[in-house]
Each structure stands twice: as structure tokens, then as C-alpha cells.
Amino acid sequence: MLDILHRLEATSVGTMVRESLYGFPILVGIHLMGLLFSVGMILWFDLRLLGLALGSAPVSRVYRRLIPWATAGYVVMVTTGAMLFTGFASAAYQNPFFRIKVSALILAGANALFYHLVTERGRESWDDNPVPPRRARLAGLVSIALWATVIMCGRLMAYTMY
Amino acid sequence: MLETLQNSWLAHAVNESQVITASLSALHLIGFTLVMSSAVVTGLRMIGVTLLEVPIIDVIRPATRTMLIGLALSASTGFLLFVPRAAGAAANPIFRAKLTLLVGALLLQFAVTRRVARRSAAHSAAQRSAGAFGLALWVGVALAGCAFILWE
């Protein structure tokens, strides 16, 4: 595995991330903006699920309005994140906070999938409710906790990797 | 005064522990994410590109609440991170730019946005301008904060 990661680091993208004067800071800046837009919008959908905000609009409509923005931010965040990873692949792979971050990202995806496949069934009966049922509120709470973990681990990586 | 602050026991306590510094930095980012999240949803609603079926005031009210929670967290942790490097940070042009943009963004958010949302017609030029300008200021704060960490 480490051999593959070292080869990844030797690619032109990996070298640019490590050695370019502006490459790394620009990528980190774009990565941060992607994260803030993506998590920022997901947070408002989660707050709607928790019944804490935007209660005058149906859950499905809030989802339709916010998720395109969250998706755009997510694409930017993942693309720049992958490029940053290329520059320090072996160090990141061995970093415990990186592993927790990736696990939390996967769990956040699984939580979203579970919401769409299971929790959302019969949504028509509670779509307009200012406070959705407990299972939907739980999905929102889990999502917030997982994204907070992703953000904190991302920041902690900077103190334990380089 | 900044030298005194920088030589205080608090500065030494923060500076000598990487665990404390890293934890403060992580919490600072969590707080700032709450702030930015509120700024983004308010800005996009004011510009008129999302949540059009929700009255503006129903977006601004919870967004302001969330922003205040985020500000409390990011300002308190930000102050603790500032203390050990007070003199250097205060002289840093990027840090100064960040604070200037922050003051502008806060003034706009708390003094102008609410008033414009209440008084002007829906989707008016005033609403769109306030939303776009506010969003630009907050993006500036985020990028200046990022640049300060990387080039300090």
C-alpha cells in the first residue's frame, strides 16, 4: 500500500502540491470554501430535520433547494481534497485523524443513504410538519455529529502530519 | 500591551501544549463553519437563488441565532489562539485584513441585512446587493483566515 502511495506522491500533482509556492495554499483555500459551502448547506437541511429552522417549508422542498449547493461544494471539496492527499499520501494514510476523518465521511454518506432508503419512506405524512418524527431528527443529529468530526479531524491533521 | 499579553501565563499555557493549540484550532473552525453556514444561507436567500418559498425573515432569524453561537465559539477560541502570538499577529497585514473584513461583515449582517430584508420589496436590488456584498465579505474573512495560517 505504501508503495502505491509513494508513487502517487511522485506524480506531477503530488509534486506541485508539495513544492509549488502557491499550489498548496490555493488548494487549501479552495478546499476550505468547498467545505464551508457543502457542510454549511447540509447543516441547514439537518436543522430542518431537527425542527430547529425553516419550519415553514416542507422538508422535501428544503432538500431540493439546498442540496444542489451542497453537492457543488462537495465536488469542489473532494476534488481539492484528493489533490492535497496526493501530495502527502503516505503521511496522511498513517495519520490517525485522517483515518477517523475518512471513516466519518463514509458514515455521513451511509447516514444520508439510510435516510433516503429507509427514513424517508412515508415522508408525505410528515413533510409539512415543523418538527419531523424522531427517526428523521436522529438522521439530522447524526449528520451534524459526523460532519463536525470530519471538520475537527481535518484541522487536527495539520498539527500531527507535517 | 500586546507584549504583556504575549508573556502572560495564558499565552505560555497555550503555546506550550500542542494538544491545546490543535484543539482550540479545531473548535475555532467548527465555530467559523457555523458562522459561514449562516452567512451563506442568508446571502443566497437575499440574492434570491434559494429557499424562495421561505420568507426572508424566517431564514434570517435562525441564521442570526446560529451565527451568534458560532461567533461565541470562534471568537473565544480565536482570542486564545491570538494570545501567544499577539504582537506578531497584530502587525501582520493578512491578520489585519481578516479583522477589517470581519468587522465589515458583522456590521452588514447585524445592522443592515435585517433592516433591508424587512423594509425593501422581495427580490429588490437592495436585497440582492446586501446579500451579495455580505457573502463576499464573509468569503474574504474565510480566505484571509486561511492565508494567515499558511503564511504566518
Domain that holds residue B42: 2-151
Which of B58, B62, B146 faces A32 most closely, judged by CB atoms? Answer: B146
Q: With an 8 Å Cβ cutoff, are B26 and A47 in contact?
A: no
Interface A-B, measured as beta-carbon pairs within 8 A, has a size of 94
Is-contact A105 A145, C-beta < 8 A?
A: no
d(CA B24, CA A119): 36
What pLDDT tens digit does each residue of chain A (162 aa) get? 888 999 999 999 999 988 888 889 899 999 999 999 999 999 999 999 999 999 999 999 999 999 999 999 999 999 999 999 999 999 999 999 999 999 999 999 999 999 999 999 989 999 999 999 999 999 999 999 999 999 999 999 988 886
Between CA A149 and CA A146 the distance in angstroms is 5
Global ipTM? 0.91
Q: Where are the domains of chain A?
A: 2-160
Q: What is the DSSP letter of A11?
A: S
Grid coordinates representing A87 are: 501530495
Asked if B36's CB is within 8 angstroms of A40's CB, the reply is yes
- Note if the pTM is more than 0.90: yes
Of the candidates A28, A32, A56, the beta carbon closest to that of B55 is on A56
Instruction: Give the number of domains in chain B.
Output: 1
Asked if B68 has any chain A CB less than 8 Å from its own CB, the reply is no
